[in-house]
Structure 1
């Protein structure tokens, strides 16, 4: 459960994934994680999003980029009441800052309910990427990674 909660901060999501173990394959586990992510209620999503934090860019990023990202995160959180979440699985490190800034800017125009749907999908993808990362790291809970 502790490992699962590092991937998605919804107790119901973690309970659902854990309830069906053992899984015959990693793919089966990841599929179960996806399914549980699709079934998050409004309260489950609120719980999970409340535990997310805005990622800051690498300290070596240009000052202007760090400032722009902080401002974009603040605008997003002010508009939607939770941290901006986006899965960057498969995005090269050098492209991540641009992807996050573009994502925030484009999603700021969403209506609240539309953004909840987008955020839920991104959270599901993020949980899957985190779980795959944890599995690749030998099932050791960590606070770094995707």
Structure 2
């Protein structure tokens, strides 16, 4: 936490922007440094996420747009085809990429959870789905921040969490 707190403002904002792709969120979290511990940082990150304006949420959602790797974790081609089709339908319906935090999901269950989430959320009305997407962004940011601070202290053992940004 000490290294993060000591970063120049611009560097801290760039670092935070990798956790939540809203410039307003990154500026706000960086501005409230120093943080005494991870819990304080996560609380500030949550508060900043809850206060995002609609345009900031849109910016963060659009920043999550990524292409799928050719064959993550050896999943069958049919499952990946279904995933791409569901994601395309979601983006067409809601105007932004589908985001879901899978930090608490075992890697072998991630694709099933992702597909189930897409199927369920495709049935939501746009306002409800926007609220869910904003909550998933908040959860993603929390996990990324936790991993970022663990890497800083050398306690991170994996490269990333099992979540699948789509």
Question: Common fold, TM-score beyond 0.5?
Answer: yes
Tell me if the contact between 1:54 and 1:85 (Cα under 8 Å) persists in the aligned partners: no
- May I ask how many residue pairs the two structures share in their alignment? 143
TM-score (norm 1): 0.92
- CA RMSD after TM alignment: 1.7
> Deviating runs (4+, > 6 A) in structure 1?
none
Tell me if the contact between 1:54 and 1:73 (Cα under 8 Å) persists in the aligned partners: no
Instruction: Report which of the two structures shows the higher radius of gyration computed on alpha carbons.
Output: 2
- SS of the equivalent of 1:138 reads helix
- SS of the equivalent of 1:7 reads coil
Q: Does 1:29 align with 2:41?
A: yes
1:78-137 Cα distance to aligned partner (Å, 9 max, x none)? 101111000111111001001100000000001111111000001100111111111111
Deviation of the 1:50 alpha carbon:
1.1
Deviation of the 1:71 alpha carbon:
0.6
Aligned match of 2:134: 120
Aligned match of 2:61: 49
In the aligned structure 1, how far is the partner of 2:134 from the partner of 2:91?
A: 15
Which runs of 5 or more residues in structure 1 are unaligned? none
TM-score (norm 2): 0.81
